[in-house]
Homo-oligomer: A and B are copies of this chain.
């Protein structure tokens, strides 16, 4: 399998991207890596490794660039070249830490939608903080600010395939994010989506789930529109981050006894930070395209690049996208 990597995307590019790729290349010896970007800058961080190919280009998409326009005009940008490699079958998956909007546009305009899918959606895997499962998937977290019920229904099928194939959950529990668990709850979109999900035979629909229960693993796949999903994702991040800050501040401001307590708790608190480390769960996946397209945080460091490549490796090994394509384009049952 071959992964096309935009080496120039993200705040720490190309260093973090190249270092993370080198880490991954050591482990995944069955995989070929293609780094797209400024060759001289990339080579600086590259040790000799035969399976890392560098494809030089001077052009790149910047974080402030207009997504669709930049993808259309910057035809030699590292992200665009990497996307084209996937389109042309020279690579099996696309990875970037760059401009999210531009990556969505590259996925949609270059890699291409699966027939039968209206719009791809963005899925993230988040750690739970309690409950019997260690993570759950939320989709869409921002690819489509406005959604139609049919899109939410497709997200459910896509997300369910993902949880099955990549995470090995035999019968993923799919929930609809809603402002109450009763059947008739929600805005018009949620109410109509509920009716479609109830009839969707490809998923195990468990009904409405509330935002309050997400981190307790109330469902394996939670679907919603991209506006609400994005708000929920950012609220989880903001609340968790501020809670950690608050715990530290509380420890420091409550005198010596509290400070000593804090010191004794240092290991425990760093375990806590580990639990909350989203990067270990990889990047966000744009599902509904003909090949895996994965985005990681702009501020990514080599570790999260490594974890994201591991995730891509799992996606390719499990043939999740091939199965989804067969399901939607040919109406076949997934190969189990």
Contact with B along A246-258 (1 / 0, CB 8 A): 1101110110011
Contact B268 A261 (CB under 8 A): yes
**A261 CA / B232 CA spacing, docked (Å):** 33
Instruction: Decide yes or no whether A204 CB sits under 8 A from chain B.
Output: no
**Chain A binding surface, main DSSP class:** helix
Chain B residue at minimal CB-CB distance from A238: B212
Chain B residue at minimal CB-CB distance from A254: B268
**A232 CA / B230 CA spacing, docked (Å):** 10
CB distance from A253 to the nearest CB of B (A): 8
**Which chain B residues lie closer than 8 Å to A239 at the CB level?**
129, 215, 235-236, 239-240, 243
Stretch at the interface among A43-51, A151-159, A184-192, A282-290: A184-192
Contact A130 B242 (CB under 8 A): yes
**A226 CA / B184 CA spacing, docked (Å):** 16
Instruction: Decide yes or no whether A183 CB sits under 8 A from chain B.
Output: no
CB distance from A101 to the nearest CB of B (A): 9
Contact with B along A203-217 (1 / 0, CB 8 A): 000000011111110
Chain B residue at minimal CB-CB distance from A233: B211
Contact with B along A42-63 (1 / 0, CB 8 A): 0000000000000000000000
Contact B261 A246 (CB under 8 A): no
Instruction: Decide yes or no whether A267 CB sits under 8 A from chain B.
Output: yes
**Which chain B residues lie closer than 8 Å to A211 at the CB level?**
230-235, 238
The B-contacting residues of A in range 118-136, CB under 8 angstroms, are 129-130
Chain B residue at minimal CB-CB distance from A64: B182
Contact partner of A231 (CB less than 8 A), chosen from B232, B262, B275, is B232
Contact B272 A247 (CB under 8 A): yes
Contact partner of A190 (CB less than 8 A), chosen from B145, B213, B236, B237, is B145
CB distance from A196 to the nearest CB of B (A): 18
CB distance from A169 to the nearest CB of B (A): 21
Q: Which of A211, A240, A268 is the most central at the interface, judged by chain B CB atoms within 10 Å of its CB? A: A268
Instruction: Decide yes or no whether A146 CB sits under 8 A from chain B.
Output: yes
**Which chain B residues lie closer than 8 Å to A271 at the CB level?**
250, 254
**Which chain B residues lie closer than 8 Å to A272 at the CB level?**
246-247, 250
**A251 CA / B233 CA spacing, docked (Å):** 27
Identify 9 residue pairs between A and B in the complex whose beta-carbon atoms are under 8 Å apart, listed by A's number. Answer: A211-B233, A216-B242, A228-B231, A251-B265, A260-B261, A260-B264, A261-B262, A261-B263, A261-B264
**20 other contacts beyond A211-B230, A260-B261, with CB at 8 A cut-off?**
A129-B245, A129-B246, A130-B242, A130-B245, A130-B249, A145-B186, A145-B187, A145-B190, A179-B227, A186-B227, A187-B225, A187-B227, A211-B234, A211-B238, A227-B228, A232-B232, A239-B240, A246-B275, A257-B264, A261-B268
Top 3 nearest A-B pairs (CB, nearest first) are A261-B264, A129-B242, A261-B265
